[in-house]
Every structure is written in structure tokens, then in C-alpha cells.
Amino acid sequence: MILLANNLAFSLFVPQARPAVLAAYIGVCLALGIGFIFLLTAMPTRFRRPIVIATTFILGLFYFLEFMFPGRQMAPLRDRLAAAESGFRTAQQDLYAVVVQRNDVSARLAHAGQALNDAARSLDKAAEMIDRVKPDAEEQLRRAAEDASRWAKARGVPGKVLEFDAETGSISDIRTQTYRKRVGDLAKAAEGMSDARAAMEKAQSVSASTPPKEVDAIRGSLAAGADSLALARSNLSDNFLSPYTQPVGDVSVVIGAFALGLGIYGLAAVHAKAISGKRPGWLNSLAFYVAMIAMTLVGFLKDYLGKRPAQSLSESVYNILFYGALNALSATMFSLVAFYIVSAAYRAFRVKSGESALMMASAFLVMLSLVPFGVLITSGLPVHGWASIFRLENIGHWILLFPNAAAQRGMLFGIGVGGLAMALRVWLSLERGSYFDKEM
Amino acid sequence: MQHANLAVYILEGAMVFLILYKILSARAGRRLFIRRIPGLSAIDEAVGRATEMGRPLLFSPGIGGFNVVSLQALAILGHIISLVAKYRSRVIVPTIDPLVYTIAEEAARDAYEANGAPEAFNRDDILYLTGDQFAYASGVVGVLHREKVAGAFYFGDFFAEALILSENGQQVGAIQVAGTPQVTQVPFFIASCDYTIIGDEFYAASAYLSREPTLLGSLVGQDYSKAILLVLMVLGIAAATWLTITGFPSIEAALLRITTAFNG
């Protein structure tokens, strides 16, 4: 089915022709695209609005459904990885008893050992499943790549027009990309499992006499192992819509490309007016035209001249303009931030209210905790024990890790919910704004 | 590819239901209250000040592409332009993204027309400066100094250029209001702007400014959703604390199940 749709799309959108005809074809497509956008802009709102609403809803629905349905094909493998992950997290919690030296250390160690053994069994089964599935996926990838290449060669489609996989030397289509991703995900899952297994082996060697600090580090490795299993699991949940996220995403890239044209047109028009009217600073507008034409020219020439002497010249000019001029100017602008931080900090640290005094005090402590002098001030205090909390580096660390992180997460929760509400309003066309003219 | 799991179905389902329910009830005529946000009230003050001084305003929609954040920024721009049109003042909108530029131009034209001042719309005031972050920053700084703006608004996605823009705004004596969902940039704006909208106040801005029932309903729905999250957080903290103290295995098992469900 995918192959049929794919071939149909190729037949419609890629002509069986030589590069000159292909260039003409692309030109016609471009003209049609511009014509469509012009039509959409010129048509009365009462006709445009339903089109905008329907398009927004259908595209939103695609992404919604793609997100909501986890794929079933890899479900048994995901279940095994979930079981292993659960074992890792259980063991991680059990080992906490060793870190804080609780009374039930031996019971908790036994429980952790049991959980890790269960996790090991799940990992073994998952590894078997991967070994069983992977050759099939690789074979499917090989066949898909061959089909795509054969199909494209038979019609004389130049490789440069389509996505080209340099590794296999084959032309890539949706079907090929789907299988390539599956093979890659299986390899990543195997890699994640091997990391997790290494953490598990360390954890299995823990005994009641292992130093708490070492056990704490092992708990960290177990958490990282569990996270890599969770990641492998989420990668393996592609559903029937997942292969199409890339082509659907490409639609927005194409629309964006048209908009870029509009942006450049707007920019060119503003500067053309400035030059023709000899407005103050019109020489800057002239510089805009010179820079834009020069960069466009050398950018094209460096890629399309082939192996000629002029190509290397274009590349050199491009490198000078891009890396020597643009990047250097950007870096200069960025370096100004350091000076602005000082002036902003000066204003921010003037104590005008209770809140600003609190901010000033906490910022002062954090800054001191990050410089050697600050650490020196409280170096007389013990490193361990209750008094160690008054060491400046510990106070600074605590401010950053607890009140600061809590406030930032609070903001992120609000922003997340706000983003969800906004996305919902846009998707269902409930939002007001110029893109819908007025409230729906 | 990340996909939904049981926890997402439940949580997101509940939040979507609450937001839609509140939108529908607000549209049905139910009156809703939202608290005062000083930063947003300052927008009127800035526009009035610019009019008195005979100097323009500047609105930057940030350096993000065309996304939810930019749409929100453009909704705020629409309100500012309405005020500007009413007072016959002028606002300059430099953009970095061609799509945002196109929509900003459309938004500006509509807002002037809606306020009975289509002749006040000047296409040259909506600028597509460049696609590069620091080139954009230097472009905006140039506008701030050349035009000696009386007020500057920064709403949208901002990164390292945030401080460059707002410090230059300070230098020209502009009254500045900023709002961004980029948490790392909020301290810079707080340090250099007169008013800063933080966190989800950014998304509350259009509701606050326009008082449209749909937006107000959505805002109240958001607050209920946050209340759910708050309850879950408190319960999680309580359970984790109890677990640490007692080591009670059934709580531990329940917590583990929840953690695994949330992890995908």
C-alpha cells in the first residue's frame, strides 16, 4: 500500500525526463504554488476562512492521532523493556537503604537482588526478540532501497532530486526511511540495553559493607540505565502514521520557503524605496543589495560549478564572507552581552524593596559560592556533619538546586499548560487574531 | 518518536476537557474574573507616553519561528496596535522570520482598519530584518537608537539577544515591557525592563488585554488544570516523604507503577 502510494506520488511529482525538462517542471510547480498563495490571499474572507480552518484541523488531527496511538508491532519488545526498567527502579530505591544505613539493609538488598534478576531475565528476552526481529527489518530495508533505486533509475530520475542515502548508495523513499528508522531504533535499543546491563552488574556487586558514597553512585548508574531503557522503549513505538510525519513536516517547509520569498521581497522593497528616495542612510540599503547578491551568487556557484577552478574561488569567497565576516560580526554582537550583564546587574542589585533585598542577598551568596575566595571564607567549617551546610559552596548549591529549580519548574508547568490551551485554541480555530480575522 | 501513555491520556484528557468546558461556558455568557497583571496594564501607559512624547513604539515578536509562542505574541501585538491606532501613534515591528513578518503585517493592517484608521498603517513599519539572531539584535538596536523609541515591548521567544535589546532600550529611556516563555531569559528581562510578564502570564496576556470570552474561559480552564497538577505534586511529595520515613512497601510499589506509567 505504502509502495503504491509512494510510486503514485513519484509518478505525479517527478517527471520521467532529463534535467532541462525537470527544471521546467519545477518552474511550473513554483508558479502554481505562487498562484495558489496569491489566490488564497486575494479571495474574500468568507471563502478563505473555511479553507484555513479545515487545513489547520486536518493537519492538527494528523499530529494528534500520531501522538495518541503507540504502535503495536513492537509492543512485546516494549513490554519487556518496561519490565526491565521497573526492576531497575525498584533496585535503585532499595539501595537507598544502604546509603542511609537503615536497619533493614539486608532485606532491602535481597529485594534489590531479586528485582535485578527479574530485570536481567527481561533484558535477555528483549535481546532475543531484537535478534529475531532485526534481520527481518534489515532485509525489508534492503528490498525497499532496491525497489526505490530500480524504480527511480527506470524513469531516469536524477539522484540529486530525491533524498539520497550515501551509505547504501540508494535512493530513499518513505518506505525505505521507515525501515531504516526501525533498524536504527533496534540498534539504539540494543545499545541502551548494554549500558543498562553494565549498570546492573555493578549494582549486583553491592553488599551491606559497600561504602554509602559508592552505592549512591551505583544508584545514579541504575537511574541512567532505567532512563536509557525508557528512551529505547519510546523510540520503538512508531505507529502507522509515524512514517508520514517527515513528508507532512515537509509541507510546512515548502510553505515556509514561499514565505521566505515574501520576506525577501518585503526587505528588498523597503531598501529599494530608501535608495530611490535617497533617504538618510540609503548607502546602508545599497550595502544590503550588494551583500545579498554577493552571498546568493557565491552560495550557488560553490555548489553548482562542479570541479572547476571557479568553484574553488567561489568557495573561498563564500568562506570569507560567511565565516570571516558574518560569523565574526555575530560573535562581536554576542560578546557585548558580557558588558550588558554588568550594567543590568548594577540596576537589579540596587536594594529598593524587600524582594530586591532578597534577590540581592541570594545572588551575592551564589556568586561568592562560585569563586575561590567565597569557598575560602568558610573553608574552616567541617566538610561533613551538620555544620557543613553553612559552607558557602553548599549554600550556593542549595539555592540553585532547591528554591531556584522549584521556581523554574513552577514556571515551566504554567507555560506548558498555557501552551496546551493556546495550541488547542489554534487547532480548533477558537483563537482570535489576524490569521482568522476575528473570533470564530 | 514519543507517544502518549496511560498517564498522558488521563492528565491531558482532563486538562483538555476543563479548558474546553470553561471556554464554552464563558461563550455562553458566564462572567469570569481574572486578577490584575501590572505588566500588562503598563502597556496602556507606554502607548500614552509615546503619544505625548511624539515618539514611536517598538514591538519585537522574538526570534522564534512561526509557532504557538509567536501566535501569542502577535495576538498581543494586535491589541497594542489597536491602542496605537486610537491614539494615532506609531509602532515599529522588526521580525526575524518571514512567516511571522507576513502575519505581523496582516495583523497590523487589520488592527488599524478595525480601529477606523487604515491610513495610519505604514507598511515600512513592519520590518523583516534578517534571519540571523545577532544580526537581528543589531538591527533592533539600530532602530531603538535611531528612532529614539518611547516604549519597547518584547513578547515571544528570546535567547542570548534578550539583554542586548532591553539594555539598549534602557539607554534610550524607553518604558519597557517584556514577556517570554523562555525561563532562562526571564532574569535578564527582570533586570533591565520596567515590567516583566513571567511564566504562563505570557499566555494570559491576550485574555487579559482583550477580555474575549473564549480567551478568558481558556485562561480559567488553564488555572483549573494547574490546580490538578498542584494536587498531584502535593500527593507525590507526601507519598515520597512517607516512603522515605516508613519504607512501607505497598506505597513504594504504587509509586513505582506511577513512575513507570509516566515514563512512557
Using one digit for the tens of pLDDT, what is the confidence trace for B113-145?
Answer: 888 888 889 988 998 888 889 999 999 999 999
> B74 and A433: CB-CB below 8 Å?
yes
Confidence of residue B151 (pLDDT cuts 50, 70, 90): very high
Which string of DSSP letters, residue by residue, matches A146-215?
Answer: HHHHHHHHHTT--TTTS-EETTTTEE--HHHHHHHHHHHHHHHHHHHHHHHHHHHHHHHT--TTS-HHHH
Q: What pLDDT does A416 receive? A: 92
Closest C-alpha to B16, from B186, B158, B218: B218
Does A173 map to a domain?
yes
Asked if the model's pLDDT at residue A148 lies above 50, the reply is: yes
> A426 and B106: CB-CB below 8 Å?
no
Contacts of A411 (CB under 8 A, 6+ apart): B183, B186, B198, B199, B200
Does A144 map to a domain?
yes
Q: Please identify, among A240, A272, A290, the residue that sits at the C-terminal boundary of a domain.
A: A240
Q: What pLDDT does A161 receive? A: 46
List the single residue in A104, A340, A422 with the smallest CB-CB distance to B163.
A340
Confidence of residue A19 (pLDDT cuts 50, 70, 90): low
Does A24 map to a domain?
no
Task: Find chain B residues with C-beta within 8 A of A347's C-beta.
Answer: 170, 191-192
Closest C-alpha to A361, from A371, A351, A375: A351
For chain B positions 31-60, those within 8 Å of chain A (CB to CB) are none
* Chain A contact for B241 (CB, 8 A cutoff): no
pTM of the model: 0.76
Do A233 and A363 fall within a single domain?
no
* Chain A contact for B28 (CB, 8 A cutoff): no
Between A and B, how many CB-CB pairs are < 8 A?
222
Q: Please identify, among A240, A258, A280, the residue that sits at the C-terminal boundary of a domain.
A: A240
> A266 and B128: CB-CB below 8 Å?
yes
Does A160 map to a domain?
yes
- List the domains of chain B with CATH numbers: 6-31+214-262 (no CATH), 38-211 (3.40.50.720)
CA nearest to B243 within chain A: A93
**What does the pLDDT look like over A334-354, one tens digit per residue?**
999 989 988 888 887 777 788
Q: What pLDDT does A306 receive? A: 64
Q: What pLDDT does B196 receive? A: 93
Range of the domain at A401: 349-440
The alpha carbon of residue A283 and the mean position of all alpha carbons in its chain are separated, in whole angstroms, by 41
Using an 8 Å Cβ cutoff, are A265 and A90 in contact? no
Do A233 and A361 fall within a single domain?
no
Task: Find chain A residues with C-beta within 8 A of B75's C-beta.
Answer: 431-433
> B3 and A425: CB-CB below 8 Å?
no
List the single residue in A86, A337, A412 with the smallest CB-CB distance to B183.
A412
Which of A1-5, A33-37, A285-289, A349-353 has the highest mean predicted lDDT (pLDDT)?
A285-289
Task: Find chain A residues with C-beta within 8 A of B216's C-beta.
Answer: none
Does A50 map to a domain?
no
Q: What pLDDT does A15 receive? A: 47
List the single residue in B3, B160, B183 with the smallest CB-CB distance to A70.
B3
List the single residue in A237, A270, A434 with the smallest CB-CB distance to B1.
A237
Asked if the model's pLDDT at residue B146 lies above 60, the reply is: yes
For chain B positions 183-202, those within 8 Å of chain A (CB to CB) are 183, 186, 188, 190-192, 198-200, 202
Does A401 map to a domain?
yes
Mean pLDDT calculated for residue range A129-157: 82
List the single residue in A67, A329, A422 with the smallest CB-CB distance to B72.
A422
**What is the three-class DSSP state of B127?**
strand
Asked if the model's pLDDT at residue A162 lies above 70, the reply is: no
**What does the pLDDT look like over A235-278, one tens digit per residue?**
887 888 887 887 788 777 887 777 777 778 877 888 898 899 98
Does A252 map to a domain?
no
Q: Please identify, among A240, A269, A292, the residue that sits at the C-terminal boundary of a domain.
A: A240
Task: Find chain A residues with C-beta within 8 A of B135's C-beta.
Answer: 326, 329-330, 333
**What does the pLDDT look like over B82-116, one tens digit per residue?**
899 988 889 999 999 888 888 888 888 888 888 88
Q: What pLDDT does A21 receive? A: 67
Q: What percent of chain B has pLDDT over 70?
A: 92
Number of domains in chain A: 2
Does A303 map to a domain?
no
Asked if the model's pLDDT at residue A168 lies above 60, the reply is: no
